[in-house]
Amino acid sequence: MADLTLNEKKFLVALAPLGEAGAGDLAAALGTTEEAAVQYANLCAEHGLAAVERLSTTTYTLTPEGEEYREHGLPERQIYESFADAISMKDLQAHPLSRIGIGWLRKKGWVAITKGVAEKTGEAPAGEDEIALADPKDGMPGIADLLKRNLVEEHEAVSYRVAITPEGRALVEAGLDLVEETGTLSREEIITGSWREAKLRRYSLETPPKRVYPGKVHPYQRIIDEVKRVLLDMGFVEMQGEIVQSAFWDFDALFQPQDHPAREMQDTFYLDRTEPMPEGWERVRDMHLCGGETTSTGWGGVWDEEVAQKCVLRTHTTPLSVQYLISHPNPPVKAFALGRVYRREAIDPTHLPEFEQLEGIVMDEGVSFRHLLGFLKEFYNRMGFDEVRFRPGYFPYTEPSVEPEVWVDGLGWVELGGAGIFRQEVTAPWGIETPVLAWGLGISRIAMLRLGLKDLRQLYRSDIEWLRESPAIRRQE
């Protein structure tokens, strides 16, 4: 066979006298790696000259928690043996392993709970999981439960056996040309033309090479960097600010009433510290109570200075916009902030207690709602969303307000943030009379759409396979 490489020929010559051998033995005979020997074997197998058998052996080892339970017993077993025939739930829950063990007691039917009393149902012989825990081996019925409970770890060992076929043996016996092949030409060989006399190694363009996984920027960080680059190209500057903000900046300065549901403990992370009120805070107070010196009537009711002094983990990046406007009161201003925000959300595929938010503002003479829509459309177009539309929205600190939506194939129209013009109740206390366009959106939502994810948590997991397969750059259509 003229299309065999020198390595394949050497492999057949080494395999022929053995008839059948492991990849390790063949690698030693060839003076190469076991991985290379398997590659040569598979290439010979494609020509029908060898047969390759993949052998897999699964073993299990106990985790540190599993080791502890093998010595002392599973949590449910320890609890079961800690009382006689019956025990009150109050006493049962006082057991240090109750959070883990009570559910398993009920699942295994070892106890029945009636009117606040747990009573044993009879004997509790060792279950399949306890038998497997004592000496875990492949095929044992209880292994699956131990894996789910993270009490054992699974290890797969793969080996290969290679046998020469009659066709391969006949080829070796007929004689193989083992003249060294040239795989790379030197400068001198090309200049002198001596390459014409060399035996060149044959290459197959149909054989995929070994995949290489170089280091690269995390897909989510890459999108964050792209967002910043787009806004900088559009003439914006980046704002910076603290993660810990007083409730005054996070809520009050944005004309959010002190009895607003978003300010409750179940929605916001409050810290055990306070911050002094900034200069001019009285104008914000008056704005809440009666509208200050504007045409607004404010919220009325009661405004408590102590409530405003409490510190929170910022729930959005909008406080940075107000602080930036105060320090840059003269137009024009074009600025953005992109940072982590925190909310007391239940973790699920579309919600996390912390995520990245983008905030942008434009302040200039004569800017209008139409300019805001133009900025937003340009931004989303540059982020790869060709179709953008807007629908009316409501936010406490902007009026009018709008919610941008982009078209995503397979999903339809998807809402991506909120925007509007800062109300006079936000800007007037600081002497700002020029219109301020403002918008904000969760960058993680854009990342999910761009990366084709259905679970927001994927952005933060150390999933090596996903990181390897994610493209390093976005293809331009």
Residues annotated as binding site for L-phenylalanine?
318, 357-359, 397, 422
Cα 68 from chain centre: 32
DSSP string, 261-319: GGGSTTTS-EEEEE-PPPTTHHHHHHHHHH-TTSS-----S---HHHHHEEEE-SSSHH
Residues sharing a CB contact under 8 Å with residue 472, sequence separation 6 or more, in sequence order: 216, 217, 222
176: burial class by Cβ within 10 Å (0-12, 13-18, 19+)? middle
Pairing of strands 333-342, 237-238: parallel
Query: Which residues sit opposite 223 in a β-bridge?
Result: none
The binding site comprises 318, 357-359, 397, 399, 422
Query: Which 3 state secondary structure label does DSSP give 49?
Result: coil
Tokens 């549901």 correspond to 261
415: nearest Cα among 404, 424, 426:
404
Instruction: State yes or no: cis peptide before 392, omega within 30 of 0.
Output: no
| Secondary structure class of 357 (helix, strand, coil) | strand
Feature table: binding site for Mg(2+): 399
Q: How far is CA 241 from the centre of its chain?
A: 25
Report the 10 Å Cβ neighbour count for 78: 16
Among left, alpha and beta (phi > 0; psi -120 to 50; other), residue 37 is: alpha
Pair of tokens at residue 407: 């078209």
